[in-house]
Amino acid sequence: MIPKPLVLASSSRYRKALLERLELPFDSASPAIDESAGDKESAESLTTRLAREKAEALQTQFPNHWIVGSDQVAALADGQILTKPGNFSTACRQLRQCSGQKVRFLTGLTLLDSATGDTLQLCEPFDVHFRTLSDQEIEHYLKTETPYDCAGSFRMEGLGIALFSRLEGRDPNSLIGLPLIGLCDMFRQWGLDPLAEAYRNSNRE
Distances from the Cα of 101 to the Cα of 25, 95, 118, 130, 131, angstroms: 39, 10, 39, 6, 8
Render 125-141 in DSSP notation, one character per residue: EEEEEEPP--HHHHHHH
Question: b/e string for 80-95 if b means 16 or more Cβ within 10 A?
Answer: ebbebbeeeeebbebb
Q: Rounded to an integer, what distance in angstroms lies between the CA atom of residue 199 and that of residue 130?
A: 39
Q: Is 71 a catalytic residue?
A: yes
For residue 204, the tally of other CB atoms under 10 A from its CB is: 5
Which one of 34, 71, 135, 185 is the catalytic residue? 71
- Rounded to 10 deg, the angle between the 180-189 and 194-204 helix axes is 90
Question: b/e string for 172-194 if b means 16 or more Cβ within 10 A?
Answer: ebbbbbbbbebbbebbeeeebeb
Is residue 120 exposed (0-12), middle (13-18) or buried (19+ Cβ within 10 Å)?
Answer: middle
Enumerate the active-site residues.
71
